[in-house]
A and B are shown apart, each in its own frame.
Chain A
Amino acid sequence: MEHALTLDRVTKSFGDFRAVDAISLVVPRGTIYGFLGPNGAGKTTTIRMFMSILYPDSGTITVLGDPNPEAVKDRLGYLPEEKGLYKKMKAAELVSYFGRLKGMAAGPANARARELLHRFELGDWADKKCETLSKGMSQKVQILATLIHDPELVILDEPFSGLDPVNVEVVIELILELKRQGRTVIFSTHVMEQAEKLCDAILLIDKGKKILDGPLADVKAGGPRTVIIDYDGDGGVFRGLPRVARVNDSGKHAELTLEDGASTQDLLRQLVDRIAIRRFDTREPSLHEIFVRAVGGKTHA
């Protein structure tokens, strides 16, 4: 089966600035794929290129098996980071309008818009103007407008930014639902924890360059194991420990990367008298750790 998206050495410069530098990647169908990287890494530019909003300087893009992304635009659903609604339009009208722009006929678009609004508990708001919706409701309406035409590939650019925890859950549930329906979801984020929970595969980019990509399990397996410690006490003890390569200390939770061949037993022995340890665990490195290591610890996500 063809892939949902293939990029081959795609490059895009703006004047002297190379926003995306020879990025290649494969997004298999039916997966949740994360574009990860700090702000300004080139995530949005990459997305805009396969959405045919920008055009690459070189390289090829194949979307849903079609080498001309513009031809399959109607089978994609895109929710940009910067998004809004027509304030004076009614919610149902707006959702239906976007369906029609994607090629749906008026009748089915209207019916489907109402059905979606009902399913997402916005039935009472279908005939209200968008300016009366709360932020969370607006976000839902925007997502519904992205999904009304049953796109095969859904692209969400920073879908969690500015959302409260309840609405983050709503969006996560929606992404999982899309996956259950067999659709492909690409989303970008600079928050590693969310990506870690959701993604089947990831692309890590920084300053326009690909750092690594692939299934999440492979990415994680490739890195050295880390030690997770939940503790109470003075985190200063982690400083100056022998044979520890790196420390990510969050105050009550720390992630330590050991040098090759170092023993976790020795580490535990050194710590046990100095802080109260609630959990001591070895496991694969977190995405955050992988990311920090990959970009040389200079960038803070």
Chain B
Amino acid sequence: MRKIWLVAQREFLENVRTKSFWIGILIFPLILTAAIVVPALLEKTRQARPFAVLDRSGWVLEAVQEQVAAGAKRFVLVEPALDAQSAAAEDTLNRRVRDEELFAYFIIGPDPVRSSAGSEYRSKNLTDSDLRDWFGELATNAVQARRLEQEQIDPAIAEWIREPVRFEARKVTGAGETEDVSAQDKLRQWAPLIFVYLLWVAVFTIAQMLLTNTVEEKSNRIIEVLLSSVSPVELMAGKITGIAQTGFAIIASWIIAFFFITKYVPGLLGAPVGLDLTVLTRDPVYLASFVAYFLLGYLLFAAMLVGIGAVCNTLKEAQNLMGPITILLIIPLLAMLPIGRDPNGPLAKVMSFIPPFTPFVMMNRAAGPPELWEYVATTALLLVSIGLALWAAAKVFRIGVLLTGKPPTLREILKWIRAPVGTVAVRKEPR
């Protein structure tokens, strides 16, 4: 036990000193902060967009003038002093748009009350539709008012006719009652996706750290020196523990960063806090299952990767063997959205029982939530698989770490796992 701890401690300290550890710690808060700050800054720094209107109806522009002046400061109406009816006016405005004096201009058709014929929006940039939507809505309102007037329809009646049928979303609670759905609840519904993604990133990075680390130790030829002091199983256990500590340090920093950034950064920017994201970090069920599934998922993949690491002598060999495992890991990521939409559907249920997917899929389904027996059964299955995987990894590790030369084939590895301890040849390539 003491030796396992010593190995773990050394692993942890060595990892903490690497750049990739600090990148791992910092990358998430940086991305999160950027995701909040950048759109806000963009909104502030957007340029004013001058535009012009050729009003061939003769009245629409006048009807909306006041709202245009009072409206968004970003869109500035330029009065071109042109004859709206002439074709030459279009040429002039086209040129001004081309020279970027104007962002865009509108042509209002001769009779918008009857039809939109002749109404156009012209710009070099058609991807940004903010101006078009905004002015379009103002014009529509003016035209619709005129139509109601013409047909002598009471605007209140028109409003009522246009009223859509709204289905209010209500959540059926565990007690079989219904309750209102707030924005918070919607967030809670989708929050598991954030957690699945973080879980995935964490498991993937940390397990890969273990792989790199084992291969390096082997290619450094330090393994045999270590084996004269610790047993292969102690060494493996120590490495897995040490890297797990590193992983926990990283995800703990993420959770803390998530809490503080979502709580304070929007406030610092003066933006209203639309959604209180901190609710996620305060929900003990999510947090606890996140930590638990991180540990379980990590252990399962750690067992696979430490075995791979033990049989490879170079990172390149390891990456080749790593291929199938990467594919295995990507599947739950692909299933993330479908499962999020239908957390208790057949796909979700079946995938929960495939151990390499269990941590991700069960986290994914947290909003469902799955029934208790499903938690118990999938976790039991996962624990059994982890036990088996660690046992197999220990066997591969003890043979593999002393191996030099070409990595073994999968068939050879399976043979090692089945063979009793100590009967498998350790190849030694002549030098």
Contact = CB atoms under 8 A, between A and B. Distances in A.
Q: Is B truly associated with A? A: yes
Interface of A: 14-15, 17, 39-40, 44, 48, 51-55, 57, 70, 73-74, 76-80, 82-89, 97-98, 100-102, 142, 145-146
Contacts of A55: 421-422
A102 B222 contact: no
Nearest to B232: A53
Given A14-B425, A83-B222, 16 more contacts: A14-B424, A15-B424, A15-B425, A17-B425, A73-B228, A73-B229, A78-B228, A80-B221, A85-B220, A85-B222, A86-B14, A86-B217, A89-B14, A98-B229, A100-B6, A102-B229
Interface string B386-424: 000000000000000010100000000000000001111
Interface string B212-249: 00000100111011111111000000000000000000
A18 B225 CA distance: 25
A80 B428 contact: no
B225 A83 contact: yes
B333 to A, nearest CB: 32
14 contacts: A40-B430, A54-B422, A54-B426, A78-B225, A78-B228, A83-B224, A84-B221, A85-B220, A86-B14, A88-B18, A89-B14, A97-B6, A101-B229, A102-B229
B98 interface: no
B3 interface: yes
A66 B426 CA distance: 27
Contacts of A88: 14, 17-18
A87 B217 CA distance: 10
B382 to A, nearest CB: 33
Nearest to B404: A82
B14 A98 contact: no
B422 to A, nearest CB: 5
A44 B428 contact: yes
Nearest to A149: B229
Closest 9 CB pairs of A and B: A14-B425, A78-B228, A84-B221, A84-B220, A80-B224, A101-B229, A84-B222, A82-B221, A55-B422
B10 A53 contact: no
A101 B10 CA distance: 11
Interface size class of B (residues with CB under 8 A): 20 to 34
A54 B425 CA distance: 10
B15 to A, nearest CB: 10
A288 B14 CA distance: 47
A142 B402 contact: no
Nearest to B234: A101
Interface residues of chain B: helix, strand, loop or mixed (majority): loop
Nearest to A19: B425
Contacts of B231: 52, 70
B229 A142 contact: no
Contacts of B3: 101
Contacts of B224: 53, 80, 82-83
B6 to A, nearest CB: 6
A301 B228 CA distance: 28
Contact of A86 (B18, B222, B426): B222
A130 to B, nearest CB: 9
Contact of B225 (A14, A39, A74, A79): A79
A48 B225 CA distance: 11
A53 B225 contact: no
A53 B224 CA distance: 8
A55 B231 CA distance: 12
A148 B53 CA distance: 88
Contacts of A51: 227-228
B291 to A, nearest CB: 29
B184 to A, nearest CB: 46
Contacts of B230: 101
A160 B424 CA distance: 29
Interface in B1-49: 3, 6-7, 10, 14, 17-18
A83 B223 CA distance: 8
A6 to B, nearest CB: 19
A146 to B, nearest CB: 8
Contacts of B228: 51, 53, 73, 76-78, 80
Which among B7, B222, B426, B430 has the greatest number of chain A C-beta atoms within 10 A? B222
Nearest to A99: B229
Nearest to B226: A101
B227 A53 contact: yes
Nearest to B230: A101
A80 B228 CA distance: 9
A87 B225 contact: no
B425 to A, nearest CB: 3
Nearest to A98: B229
Nearest to A106: B6
A51 B404 CA distance: 19
A48 B424 CA distance: 14
Contacts of B220: 84-87
Contacts of B227: 51, 53
B262 to A, nearest CB: 36
A73 B402 CA distance: 18
A83 B221 contact: yes
Contact of A39 (B423, B426, B430): B430
A17 B426 CA distance: 11
A14 B221 contact: no
A80 B222 CA distance: 9
Contacts of B424: 14-15
Nearest to A81: B224
Contact of B6 (A78, A86, A101): A101
Contacts of A57: 422-423
Contacts of A142: 225
Nearest to B220: A84
Nearest to B10: A97
Contacts of A85: 220, 222
Nearest to B228: A78
A53 B17 CA distance: 31
Nearest to A54: B422
Contacts of A17: 425
A15 B416 CA distance: 12
Contacts of B423: 14-15, 57
Nearest to B430: A39
A270 B6 CA distance: 70
Given A39-B430, A53-B402, A84-B220, A98 B425 contact: no
